[in-house]
Amino acid sequence: MISKNSTRVTLVGPSWPFRGGIPKYTTRLAKELHQRGNLVDFITPFKQYPSFLYPGKSDRDPYSCQKLDFAKPLFSYLEPWTWAKVPRAIHSSEAQKVLVPFWTKAQIPFLNYLQKQLLIPKVTILHNLFDHDSGGLTQRLMRNTVKRTEEVLCHSEEILEDPLFRLSNIKTRYHSLPPLGDSEAICQKKARDPLGIPQHHCVFLFFGLIRPYKGLSVLLKACESLAKCDFPFTLLIAGEPWEKVSLPSPNFSMISHLKWIPEQEVASWFSACDIVVAPYLRASGSAVIAQAISYRKPIITTPVGGIPQQLTGYQPYFFSTPGDPSSLAEAMLKGVGSQGLLYPTKPLIANHSWESYVDCLLN
């Protein structure tokens, strides 16, 4: 039931059965808006994009996020003949605003069409201003798409420094990505035994879709340095490569699982590790860091994009210099010290909550 003073919104973005961080966040946002009585419609794609834009075997995982009964799969981002249903549904719902996550060039044609058809304000939830591998033309096209919106919420203050926002009348706001919530871990021994990891090893986890900007090559070099130190550790690499990855024969204990990790197996990987390592070369925010927070794991990462704000109030975490194996190895040693001293992890403070996020988005 929508109260008199509630802003009526329609959310347009991916959800079940699609996999990845954006569908998870969009689904969680839909649930929060629905519980607060703000959501009048949740419109989702029935197809995201063709396989040549998604190098993995499939962009679907039925366990990745909850299937919401009120979601309406009406369109496909790259099938224009499906688009007209979306503005019709939005206008018939009598929503006051439309919320649209934006993160990749594949959405540009659909979002430009939607903006032309809408008679109400659009709020763009800007996960990325540009694709991580985009060139100059793609960046211009993505900027032009964002220009068409009335309001923007982004997860990195760095994005707001772009000339697009300094030189336009777009209303901007910032809020860090809230965590998905506490996740239920399993017994560490039970998680490690199938992988053959000795219980006395310190285990570092590199998790998620493997792309060059996520710094795996830097982590491998850092581990080569750590192997010269006299302490036992294992590196876990769990995730699907975006492009072909050749891992070297290491001089340290390493277990790699270069495949998509189904949602029902995620807890095992996080439970098996002591520390999550996310050595980004660049990023706006990180779903992997949000997962690490939900499992209350120490985190080693880099201070790029919105990651420092995402970690504000959480402990322990350690920063390394992006692209620097020596700095990363040093941070990993600090992390081992914190783990050995059993520093308690500290939950994020209230201004990182979903309640705060939705307030920021609507107000």
Sequential pLDDT tens for the chain (363 residues): 444 448 999 999 999 999 888 999 999 999 999 999 999 999 999 998 666 655 556 778 887 888 999 999 999 999 999 999 999 999 999 899 999 999 989 999 999 999 999 989 899 999 888 876 677 888 889 999 999 899 999 988 888 888 888 778 899 999 888 877 656 889 999 999 999 999 999 999 999 989 899 999 999 999 999 998 888 999 999 998 877 777 878 889 999 999 888 888 999 999 999 999 999 999 888 889 988 988 889 999 999 988 998 888 888 899 999 999 999 999 999 988 755 444 556 655 556 788 999 999 998
- Residue 86 confidence (pLDDT): 97
Residue 106 and residue 26 in contact, taking contact as beta carbons nearer than 8 Å: no
- Residue 3 confidence (pLDDT): 45
- Residue 264 confidence (pLDDT): 85
The reply to whether 188-340 shares the fold of 9-178+351-362 is yes
Cα dist. 91→75, 95, 102, 122, 177 in Å? 16, 7, 21, 13, 29
Task: Please spell the DSSP secondary structure of 154-203, one letter per residue.
Answer: ES-TTGGGSHHHHTS--EEEE-PPPP--------HHHHHGGGT--TTSEE
State how far the Cα of 208 lies from the Cα of 264, in Å rounded to an integer. 14
Most distant CA pair in the chain: distance in Å? 66
Residue 222 and residue 332 in contact, taking contact as beta carbons nearer than 8 Å: yes
Q: Is 153 exposed, middle or buried (0-12, 13-18, 19+ CB in 10 A)?
A: buried
| pTM for the predicted model, two decimal places | 0.83
- Residue 50 confidence (pLDDT): 65
Q: Which fold is adopted by the domain 188-340?
A: Rossmann fold (3.40.50)
- Residue 342 confidence (pLDDT): 44
Q: Which CATH class is domain 9-178+351-362?
A: alpha beta
State how far the Cα of 220 lies from the Cα of 212, in Å rounded to an integer. 13
The structural domains of the chain, with segments of one domain joined by +, span: 9-178+351-362, 188-340
Residue 292 and residue 276 in contact, taking contact as beta carbons nearer than 8 Å: yes
- Residue 4 confidence (pLDDT): 43
Coil, strand, or helix at residue 114? helix
